[in-house]
């Protein structure tokens, strides 16, 4: 944002909601490197910081520079909640810019978890779990990340993976209400997965492993969140006879619901191998 007499109050007001990076510069080429670095790093649509460009040929910008005691151009001043909190000058601007931005911009893990929560809110649980898994992999000491990921896994009925996360908790983790709530949710999810209807279909398939019973049992397994078990069952059928069209269709239907799950690509490769 180029600072002018007309918008200077508005520019500084933005620092009350997010940090303002103020670059004081001249039209001299010696300022180009710093200016290019900042305009590249901070776009006008950045959600976390604002960039204010103070051209010192403007009288209003000269006045602000004097108030801040700046003696050189280029100079960078970070203003947070209306107060200057960091200053860099000359070549130090580019050298220290990554460190300064790191203080105010979210980490890659935080960005991924934010994307996971947005996907969850949009009803895309597969993408949400995938993004949450990436975020937790990058910051596995973050208990909030762990709890969010576990909650999404339980919602996805992936109780086996949720167990991997929640089993063997540390002392701090075990004492947290969020952890106890997740354990309760996991217990309820597992009870739902072992419904009488599912057990009945399992027994029916064991007694008569026909294609019809296999498909019915696989669909029930997938609905209960046991998609890998369903794929294993159907793939065994396809391996014996690839021309089982209803089995193949059900296998592909289940795979299509697994976007973002590594098992999707694994079983697609297995099927591709059979086809070729």
Q: Domain containing 48 — which CATH number?
A: 3.40.30.10
Has residue 148 got a pLDDT over 80?
A: yes
CATH number for the domain that contains residue 262? 1.25.40.10
Q: Which of 55, 87, 104 is the last residue of a domain?
A: 104
Instruction: Give this prediction's pTM.
Output: 0.66
Shared domain for 21 and 86, answered yes or no, is yes
Residue 2 lies in a domain: no
Per residue in 1-22, pLDDT (tens digit) is 899 999 999 999 999 999 999 9
* Distance from C-alpha of 184 to C-alpha of 187, rounded to nearest angstrom: 5
Residue 3 lies in a domain: no
Shared domain for 41 and 128, answered yes or no, is no
> To the nearest whole percent, how much of the chain has pLDDT over 70?
100
pLDDT, averaged across the chain: 92
Shared domain for 94 and 45, answered yes or no, is yes
Per residue in 33-51, pLDDT (tens digit) is 999 999 999 998 998 999 9
Q: Whats the size of the chain, residue-wise?
A: 276
Shared domain for 15 and 85, answered yes or no, is yes
Shared domain for 39 and 81, answered yes or no, is yes
Can you point out the beta strands (E) in 128-267? none
Cβ-proximal residues to 21 (8 Å cutoff; 6+ apart), any chain: 38, 42, 49, 50, 51, 52, 76, 77, 78, 100
Shared domain for 16 and 55, answered yes or no, is yes
What pLDDT sits at residue 54? Answer: 96
Q: Which of 192, 215, 242 is the last residue of a domain?
A: 192
Residue 1 lies in a domain: no
**Which residues are 24's β-sheet partners?**
54, 75
* Distance from C-alpha of 253 to C-alpha of 116, rounded to nearest angstrom: 24
Shared domain for 188 and 270, answered yes or no, is no
Per residue in 184-202, pLDDT (tens digit) is 999 988 888 888 888 999 9
What is the sign, positive or negative, of the torsion defined by CA atoms of 21, 25, 27, 29?
negative
Q: Which of 70, 104, 138 is the last residue of a domain?
A: 104
Domain count, the chain: 3
What pLDDT sits at residue 69? Answer: 93
Shared domain for 116 and 188, answered yes or no, is yes
What pLDDT sits at residue 224? Answer: 87
Shared domain for 245 and 188, answered yes or no, is no
Q: Domain range holding 20?
A: 8-104
CB 109 within 8 A of CB 145: yes
Shared domain for 144 and 227, answered yes or no, is no
């Amino acid at each position: 944002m180029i600072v002018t007499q007309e918008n200077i109050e508005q520019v500084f007001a933005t620092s009350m909601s997010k940090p303002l990076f103020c670059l004081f510069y001249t039209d001299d080429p010696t300022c180009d490197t710093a200016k290019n670095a900042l305009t590249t790093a901070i776009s006008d649509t950045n959600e976390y910081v604002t960039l204010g460009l103070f051209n010192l040929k403007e009288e209003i910008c000269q006045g602000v520079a004097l108030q801040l005691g700046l003696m050189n151009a280029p100079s960078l001043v970070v203003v947070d909640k209306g107060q200057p909190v960091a200053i860099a000058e000359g070549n130090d601007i580019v050298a220290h810019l990554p460190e300064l931005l790191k203080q105010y911009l979210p980490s890659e893990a935080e960005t991924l978890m934010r994307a996971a929560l947005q996907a969850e809110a949009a009803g895309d649980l597969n993408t949400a779990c995938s993004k949450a898994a990436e975020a937790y992999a990058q910051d596995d000491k973050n208990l909030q990340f762990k709890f969010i990921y576990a909650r999404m896994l339980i919602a996805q009925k992936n109780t086996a993976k949720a167990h991997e996360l929640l089993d063997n908790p540390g002392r701090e983790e075990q004492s947290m209400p969020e952890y106890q709530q997740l354990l309760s949710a996991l217990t309820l999810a597992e009870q739902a997965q072992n419904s009488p209807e599912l057990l009945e279909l399992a027994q029916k398939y064991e007694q008569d492993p026909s294609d019809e019973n296999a498909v019915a049992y696989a669909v029930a397994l997938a609905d209960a969140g046991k998609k890998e078990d369903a794929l294993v069952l159907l793939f065994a059928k396809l391996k014996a006879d690839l021309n089982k069209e209803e089995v193949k269709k059900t296998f592909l239907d289940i795979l299509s619901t697994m976007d973002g799950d590594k098992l999707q690509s694994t079983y697609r490769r297995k099927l591709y191998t059979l086809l070729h």
